[in-house]
């Protein structure tokens, strides 16, 4: 393991380095750039769910004012990557490639015009004729068609049926509806061809290097000839982890009209065009001894996917990892339906899986008449139940204690519906969360300029958690210099390689690279100074003395042998206090306490924001969010913010974000692990468990709406 950074950060921490840019509007997002001669693209969506296109009437659109092109599969230039792909292999939708319709709203054409308004008007003039076929969009009706996507999707240890022999058992089904990615910033791209084999894009992406590579493969051009800019991203949660059809449409449009093309999805498009958390059915069977020790767990999950792309997020994996249990059997299956493809969404897998597992654990606690925290402590895993490896770091017991004290757990009653306050029923709930703590390869340059300013560069994106702020904090501490003399450049494919921002890996991965680069840079300065130097040199003065304009190092950071030695996870515990109106079924959250065990906290302010944001997302999952498909037509009918409900300020209670804050130097030299996922994972179950404690009514199909409690 490399040398490690100290743990001397303040409890307050630095303010966001990009905060002023964001609150003043100076931060430019992908749709906000204005290129000379820019044109505008608007997609035309299919009005059927399955079948083939027989004709497309584009004459009225083509003759409308300002229209430059109407592109469909009838006249679309060839996309080399589509033609070279194996037709037998499933994959992302090939836009404008053939006449097949595989989901409602699928783009069948793009209109390019000299203004957005003209493109929008002309798109409404495009009419298509179809041969419609019978479609299937209902998960429940098609569960018998569920299949495992790969061998690892089915797992077993011990005796799978052991739960049936236990003194106390729970066997239930749990349903999570589809949840749509609805970040504030709509997905957008500006595409400009700089030459026949050279392109620049300003794109909403969580991984500029991956987007660069995918565009190069699709259009058969050298990777270095693709320039991707994505300095600011207004939320993504997983929806920007791949190149979607609208991005390809804009690039095609720019090639056809020989002008830069901007394409911004509508809010309705967001429901079908950039993935979502899949509608998932789960079944849990748990058996325990009379004293609360788990005997066996069976966890089955089946989630929806599209017919053209296989996606399975692995909800049941959490049952392999969270508790010590000798007999565990899990399976993750998928059901192919005539819908758009789902994708990763914050806490993918465990966020879905913990709703089932932690609800079932709560049900077990009442059958056993054991406090839910005590039940979890009796099944506390000291080593990884799946691999048998020691944990790189686990302080979950501290998290239970911190959260219980803060929420006032001692006021909870084990008898549901027995506590009231001012006519409202009062309930408390708890849920745990876990997510893998990985460290990805990163290359980063650190350059000390002649004026004593430090510039760090790597091609990572930032979807909002405050990546630059945390990286500046690491550099300031390592270099022992003021943060306002450090600049962190990101979001550009011209910079050295970095991973996608997803899976809670960036602080661990990029932070380690920052630390290593700064350490190497300090060593270079010491070499210049010689043995008589100081540990805290005047960097600008040293450069001037040696007639240097700058001093630069490049660090390559990646995980080492520790991945074979330790099981690496971040952990969370969510505590919720709810008030439920017995007459109306309305649920009010009175207080939420979230405790994270994710190593060292590098940037306390942004860390707190991460935890609160994830908790709010979990509140939406528990009480409001549900994408509804009218199965008669295969169409999402609430693809707007009026009908797709998300939490607003009035729904959010006091939220306490607490941190164990014990460095995990076994995973990386800065001791930090991810928190973006665990901030959400378990929240839905904590709310559901609190509602049961308040009312005695167990809701197993989210969201928990008033009609389910009356």
Residue positions annotated with a catalytic role: 677
Contact 435, 678 (CB under 8 A): yes
Show the beta-strand stretches assigned E in 558-653. 569-580, 587-597, 629-630, 635-636
Q: Which strand (E) or helix (H) includes residue 293?
A: none
Tokens 């005695």 sit at which residue? 696
Question: What residues have CB less than 8 Å from 229, skipping those under 6 apart?
Answer: 30, 200, 201, 202, 203, 208, 491, 492, 493
Measured between alpha carbons, how far is 224 from 412 in angstroms, rounded to an integer? Answer: 60
Q: Pairing state of beta strands 486-489 and 454-457? A: parallel
For CA atoms 494, 496, 497, 501, the dihedral sign is: negative
Instruction: Report how far Cα 289 is from the mean position of its chain's Cα atoms.
Output: 37
Tell me the two tokens of residue 41.
């693209």
Residue corresponding to tokens 């709310």 = 687
CB 210 within 8 A of CB 222: no
Q: Going by C-beta distance under 8 Å and a sequence separation of 6 or more, which residues neighbour residue 125?
A: 60, 61, 64
> What is the C-alpha to C-alpha distance for residues 618 and 616, in angstroms, rounded to an integer?
5
Cα-to-chain-centroid distance, residue 560: 25
CA–CA dist 704, 578 (Å, integer) = 12
Angle at which helix 604-623 crosses helix 467-479, to 10 degrees, equals 160
Q: How far apart are CA 617 and CA 703, in angstroms?
A: 13
- Closest by CA position to 202, among listed 245, 237, 247, 239: 247
Residue 479, φ and ψ in degrees, nearest 5: -85, -10
SS (H, E, C) 629-657: EECCCCEECCCCCCCCCCCCHHHCCEEEE
What DSSP letter does each residue of 571-586 carry, written as one string? EEEEEEEEEE-TTT--
Q: Which pair of tokens denotes residue 254?
A: 């720019």
- For residue 512, how many other CB atoms are within 10 A of its CB? 28
Concatenating the DSSP letter of every residue in 658-698 gives EE-----TTT-TT-B---TTTTTTTHHHHHHHHHHHHHS--
CA distance 493 to 205: 11
Rounded to the nearest 5°, which phi and psi values hold at 672? -105, 150
Tally the C-alpha atoms within 13 A of residue 161's C-alpha that lie toward its C-beta: 0
């Amino acid at each position: 393991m490399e040398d490690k950074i100290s743990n001397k950060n303040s409890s307050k921490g630095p303010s966001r380095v990009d905060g002023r840019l964001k609150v003043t509007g100076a931060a430019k997002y992908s749709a906000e750039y204005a290129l000379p001669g820019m044109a505008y693209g608007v997609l035309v969506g299919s009005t059927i769910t399955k079948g083939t296109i027989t004709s497309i009437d584009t004459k009225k659109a083509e003759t409308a004012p300002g229209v430059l092109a109407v592109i469909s599969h009838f006249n679309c230039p060839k996309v080399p990557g589509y033609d070279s792909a194996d037709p037998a292999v499933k994959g992302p939708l090939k836009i404008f490639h053939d006449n097949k319709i595989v989901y409602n709203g699928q783009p069948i054409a793009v209109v390019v015009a000299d203004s957005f308004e003209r493109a929008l008007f002309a798109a409404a003039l495009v009419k298509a004729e179809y041969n419609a076929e019978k479609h299937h969009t209902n998960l429940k009706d098609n569960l018998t068609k569920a299949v495992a996507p790969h061998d690892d999707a089915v797992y077993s240890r011990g005796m799978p049926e052991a739960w049936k022999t236990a003194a106390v058992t729970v066997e239930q089904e749990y349903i999570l509806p589809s949840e749509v990615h609805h970040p504030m910033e709509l997905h957008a791209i500006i595409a400009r061809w700089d030459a026949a084999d050279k392109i620049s894009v300003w794109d909403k992406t969580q991984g500029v290097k991956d987007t660069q590579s995918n565009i190069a493969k699709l259009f058969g051009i050298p990777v270095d000839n693709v320039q991707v800019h994505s300095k600011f991203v207004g939320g993504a949660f997983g929806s920007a982890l791949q190149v979607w059809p609208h991005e390809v449409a804009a690039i095609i449009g720019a090639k056809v009209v020989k002008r830069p093309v901007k394409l911004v999805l509508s809010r309705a498009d967001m429901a079908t065009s950039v993935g979502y958390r899949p509608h998932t059915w789960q079944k849990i069977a748990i058996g325990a001894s009379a004293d609360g020790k788990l005997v066996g767990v069976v966890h089955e999950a089946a989630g929806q996917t599209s017919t053209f792309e296989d996606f399975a997020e692995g909800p049941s994996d959490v049952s392999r990892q969270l508790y010590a249990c000798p007999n565990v059997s899990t399976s993750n299956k998928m059901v192919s339906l005539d819908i758009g493809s789902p994708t990763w969404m914050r806490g993918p897998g465990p966020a879905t899986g913990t709703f089932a597992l932690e609800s079932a654990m709560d049900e077990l606690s009442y059958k056993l008449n054991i406090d839910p925290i005590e039940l979890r402590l009796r099944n506390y895993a000291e080593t990884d139940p799946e691999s048998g490896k020691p944990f790189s770091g686990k302080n979950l017991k501290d998290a239970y204690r911190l959260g219980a004290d803060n929420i006032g757990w001692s006021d909870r009653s084990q008898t549901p519906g027995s506590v009231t306050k001012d006519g409202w029923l009062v309930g408390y709930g708890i849920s745990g969360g876990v997510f893998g703590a990985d460290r990805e390869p990163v290359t980063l340059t650190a350059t000390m300029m002649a004026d004593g300013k430090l510039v760090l560069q790597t091609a990572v994106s930032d979807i909002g958690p405050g990546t630059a702020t945390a990286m500046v904090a690491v550099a300031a501490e390592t270099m022992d210099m003021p943060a306002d003399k450090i600049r962190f450049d990101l979001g550009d494919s011209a910079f050295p390689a970095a991973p996608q921002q997803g899976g809670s890996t960036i602080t661990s991965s990029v932070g380690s690279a920052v630390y290593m680069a700064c350490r190497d840079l300090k060593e270079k300065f010491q070499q210049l100074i010689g043995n008589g130097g100081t540990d805290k040199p005047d960097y600008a003065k040293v450069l001037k003395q040696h007639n240097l304009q700058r001093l630069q190092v490049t660090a390559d950071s990646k995980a080492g042998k520790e991945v074979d030695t330790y099981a690496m996870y971040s952990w969370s515990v969510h505590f919720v206090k709810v008030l439920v109106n017995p007459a109306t079924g309305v649920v009010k959250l009175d207080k939420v306490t979230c405790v994270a065990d994710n190593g060292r906290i590098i940037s306390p302010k942004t860390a707190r924001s991460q935890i609160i944001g994830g908790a709010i997302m979990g509140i939406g999952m528990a009480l409001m969010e549900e994408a509804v498909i009218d199965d008669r037509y295969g169409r999402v009918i609430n693809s707007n913010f009026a009908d797709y409900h998300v939490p607003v300020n009035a729904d959010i209670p006091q939220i306490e974000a607490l941190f164990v804050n014990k460095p995990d130097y076994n995973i990386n030299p800065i001791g930090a692990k991810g928190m973006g996922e665990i901030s959400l994972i378990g929240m839905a179950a904590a709310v559901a468990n609190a509602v049961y404690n308040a009312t005695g009514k167990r809701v197993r199909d989210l969201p928990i709406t008033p009609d389910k409690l009356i």
